[in-house]
Amino acid sequence: MDTKAHIVVEGLVQGVGFRWFVARRAESLGLRGYVSNLYNGNVEIEAEGDRSLVEEFVKEVKVGPRSARVTNLHLEWREPSNTPNKHSHFEIR
């Protein structure tokens, strides 16, 4: 069953390869969505796919790459997109 997670990650997550790490993990799990830097230094992620795969992805995002320091993670579960091809892949914005 598909689901969507909206995630905001706080900490040392910009300038450390965090978006690339997120995109690689999402793609390897077959998730759709995006990752982008926010003006306040946080990173925003929207990931959509099979619930168990999204849950695994969230666990990995909480840790991040070695160079990052995740201090907080805000997670909101949402209904998956009904719009065909809204997110056909995972992109870095």
**Are 57 and 29 within 8 A, CB to CB?**
yes
Tell me, yes or no, if 19 is annotated catalytic. yes
C-alpha 86/C-alpha 52 separation (Å) is 21
**Are 70 and 60 within 8 A, CB to CB?**
no
> Out of 19, 25, 32, 42, which one is annotated catalytic?
19
> Out of 25, 37, 51, 66, which one is annotated catalytic?
37
Within 10 A of 51 (CB to CB), how many other CB atoms are there? Answer: 14
Tell me, yes or no, if 40 is annotated catalytic. no
C-alpha 49/C-alpha 81 separation (Å) is 10
Looking up tokens 């946080």, which residue turns up? 42
Catalytic residues: 19, 37
